[in-house]
Structure 1
Amino acid sequence: MSSPSSSSRSGPPSAGLSSDTETRPEPHRWSAADLAGPTLIFVGAFLLAVTIALPTLLVGGFRTIPLSTDFTTVATADDATIFDRCSLETRSARTVGADLVRQQRVVAVQPSDEHRVTLQAGTSVQAQALRIDDREVDPGDPRPGVDTDDPAQPCNDATVNAIKDRVTLDRKNALPRLAARGASEIQYDSGQAAVLVPDRRGVTYLLPFDTEPADREFFDAVTRTTVPLVHDGDTEVHGRDVDRFRAEVPDTDLARAALGRPVGTNVSITRPASWFGVGDSSRPLTANLHHRSSWDLAVDPRTGTIVDATITVDEVYRFPDGTPGVPDGFELPQLRATFTYDDDTQTRMTDLAADLASPILIWGRLVPIGTAVLGVVALAAGLILINPAWLPARFRRRRGAETVGGQPE
């Protein structure tokens, strides 16, 4: 028979275990529903940060002159007038009608880096056909004055003129950046050294991204002078809105000593007065080459790309003022032409402008709009999941009913 003391010591074991469990609750574990709200808030904040950063950080790099710059433009001029160099060996000067093509290739070369780019532009004017005595002839055909004994210097070469320009630009403002190994040099004759231009200012082959409709400066490579580039309204080229700019290069004596133009570029002609047609005298006279031009440029303002251009060139030989025996107003044309971009060039340059603008549009506008919308939605969803009291009343009632209905009885 058991004693009372032993009976009291051997109470039901289950009662003791239950008491210990109630005093030590199990640790709380985060469920997927608990983490959904904070995760959405984090994602929303990240997307809003991306929205702010894209236009300021990433897109800024797209608004600079590309290091891959490489484009070619072709402009034509019908019914132009050029000086026939073969007439230098005849008894009188001669000018002929011509159909001309002006071709220019602009390509990025070294030195170039994240802040600057060096562009090399080769420009040539070629005669496609000549009109002599009402006949159309090939520029390479023999004609009076051709020296068959000196084929190395043919006067019937189709090239009217050609220059090579090399300049280092700031990639953001498209202006010359000549300090710290920058370059600005122009070569007018393949047999002569290039001419340095240390004081170069103004734009030439392209304008900066986000070009404002305001006046600026233009550099003319032929005369090596800087002139105003005046905003002249807006227009449309191949469905693209563009700004018009106009530059006037005044009459410039290319033979003047201050220009420093290299020898051998036909900047002056010395021949008897009878050759010029100013009398029958054999007295030698010297005429200097004068140049003036006008530039009408159509510029895509978003990328600074010149998508269309009309270039009027008037080059003539004239005698210095006060030359005896020379009638007033005498001029011997060297090149008189109006060049306009052909349709293929307009299409190619508008396509180039669109390609340069596409990353800016995508990453600077479309993507930020998308990330901003998604970020706001994610933030709102996260906050609602954290605090369901922010839900509208009808949604709270519905959610409460679903919760009660889902509890086990």
Structure 2
Amino acid sequence: MARQSSSAGRRSSVPALVLVGLGAFLITIALALVFFVVPAQKKTPLDINSTTVTDTVPGAVLVGGALASNTPTELNADRAECRAPEAPAEEGAGEGEGAEGEGADGGETVETLDGPEADDSDVQLPVTCFIDNDIPLYSQRRVQAVEPSDSDVITMQAAQSLLREDKAGGDDVESLINATIDRVTVDRVSAMPVDEATSTLQVVAGGAGGDDAPTGFVREGLQYKFPFDTEQRAYDYFDASTFTTNPIEFVGETTVGGIDAYEFRQELGPIDMWSSIRDHFASISDGYDPAVESVLASYRREGMTAGQWGLEGDPERAVDMRRFYTNTRTVWVNPATGQIVNGKEDIFQFFAEDQAEADAFFGDKARVEEERTEPTRTAVRFQSGWNEETQQVTLAGAQDSADTLNTFGRVVPAILGILGLISLIGGIVLGLRGGRGGTGGRAARARA
């Protein structure tokens, strides 16, 4: 009998040890997933390749080529204020026989361009003749990962353009309003730019070739992605149109297509584009790079009169006009992954004499609304957000990423932890029972 009790105790201790070992193993795996494996996977993937396209909406644009040549755009050519004055009739013309549209022989005259023409080279048309209003505009952006990228950083290249749909066709240059080719190297976890002079930004003007901006500047602020585990606070955000960094404020929690999202909003302007871009270039290059001239050309207009811009006061007063930029930017971010799942912008660029005049104009909502209807100083007006197809594709990718993090960061560790705890407790209980059985056997032998 004594040998049987001892044997039974040994048999019960083996499965008890197995259960304890299995429980400890499962709990260790669960903890490793939570504290080591999943955090290591919270990095921006190196295969980023995404395209976002906005809805096509009515907007306005100042056609630089028309302004430079003092030639009305096609949409404005028939407006009375945009037509060059006719040449005065020659002395004696219209008198005598045939004055009412008939020739000297009594026949009908045919109007030709062979006679004297009006010399309109000195006739400066109002700026409104060069602004196409209520035209279909849309924006598109492609972001992809490029070198250098490694386990810690990723370089993202974003090609963004604003286009007019009514000019789309065989000539993409004609439809292009403006474009940028932006490159920035960021930390794969925080999404913040590295503290090195690696950022570049190429600016392309509509209808013209692009010029490389001076390269190698240090950038601050988020742009194409937020950090993993995004917080409910303001972040610095870089604006490629003005080369400036400004806060983007947390607005609130919401959902986009069923996915948890934080809403952030940034209100900018009016910002003097000519000054901000000039100052940026001057700060990163030795001297004044000649390439900057072509980049800045469309941001300042000299040698024109107040009357041409529709300004109050003496219409013959010479004015120096600069382009000012305003934008209300809204982005929706999945907090787990930091991925932007939707976005929209309300961009308004206009010309003003100085900062004070720009602030006064933009602060007068009635004047801004009047400018929307009858533009006299608008450079660009574009208000749109991501189209439905872009949202669906982006949401699908964000859902996959969020599901993966949730599965391996919460669900699997929870299951493994529960199973491990059950196994550990079962092993301990079984071991204690086996121990009590062995003690009872020894006591029986002692009584015998």
Normalising to structure 1: TM-score of the pair? 0.74
Q: 1:128 matched to which residue of 2?
A: 165
2:314 is the counterpart of 1:269: no
The structure with more helix, counted as a fraction of residues? 2
Aligned mate of 1:332, from 362, 377, 396 = 377
The structural deviation recorded for 1:85 is 3.0
Unpaired segments ≥5 residues, structure 2: 1-6, 72-123, 283-291, 441-448
Which residue of 2 is the match for residue 354 of structure 1? 399
Q: Is the Cα contact below 8 Å between 1:85 and 1:156 reproduced in 2?
A: no
Please state whether the residue corresponding to 2:406 is helix, strand or coil.
helix
CA distance in 1, matches of 2:11, 2:389: 60
> Residue type matched to 1:71 in 2?
S
- Asked if residue 287 in structure 1 is aligned to residue 287 in structure 2, the reply is no
Structure 1 match to 2:55: 76
Matched-pair contact (CA < 8 Å) for 1:235–1:244: yes
Counterpart pick for 1:259 among 270, 275, 280: 280
Residues 104-124 of structure 1 show CA distances to partners (whole Å, capped at 9, x for unaligned) of: 111111111222111111110
1:106 aligned counterpart, secondary structure: strand
**1:171 is aligned to 2:198:** no
Is the 8 Å Cα contact of residues 77 and 340 (structure 1) preserved in structure 2?
Answer: no
Matched, 1:204 2:238: no
Unmatched 5+ residue regions in structure 1?
1-27, 130-137, 142-153, 401-409
Q: Any residues of structure 2 matched to 1:6-405 within 5 Å, and which? A: 35-88=14-67, 89=69, 90=71, 92=125, 93=127, 94-96=130-132, 97-129=134-166, 138=167, 157-179=174-196, 183-189=198-204, 191-196=210-215, 198-256=217-275, 257-260=278-281, 262-265=292-295, 266-270=298-302, 272-273=304-305, 276=309, 286-320=320-354, 332-388=377-433
- Deviation of 1:382 (Å): 2.7
The alignment yields a C-alpha RMSD, in angstroms, of 3.3
Offset at 1:82? 0.9
Amino acid of the structure 2 residue aligned with 1:102: S
Distance in 2 of aligned mates of 1:140 and 1:346: 26
- For the residue of structure 2 that corresponds to 1:355, the secondary structure is helix
Distance of 1:302 and 1:168 partners within structure 2: 21
Indicate the percent of aligned positions where both proteins have the same amino acid.
Answer: 27
1:156, 1:332 → 2: CA distance? Answer: 24
Paired with 1:292 and 1:101, the residues of 2 have a C-alpha distance of 18
Closer, same or farther: CA 75–35 of 1 in aligned 2, 3 Å: same
Shift of 1:289: 2.0
The aligned length equals 340
Counterpart code for 2:135: A
Deviation at 1:272, TM superposition (A): 4.3
Q: Which has the higher contact order (CA 8 A, sep 6+)?
A: 2
CA shift digits 1:316-343 (9 cap, x unpaired): 23334899xxx99996211011121111
Normalized per residue, the structure richer in strand is: 1
What is the Cα deviation at residue 386 of structure 1?
A: 3.2
Distance 2:140 2:429 in 1: 65
How many Å separate the matches in 2 of 1:101 and 1:236? 25
TM-score (norm. length: structure 2): 0.68
Deviation at 1:208, TM superposition (A): 0.6
Distance 1:204 1:113, change over 3 A: same
Q: Distance in 1 between matches of 2:407 and 2:356?
A: 64
* Shift of residue 362, structure 1, vs aligned partner: 1.1
State the structure with more CA Rg.
Answer: 1
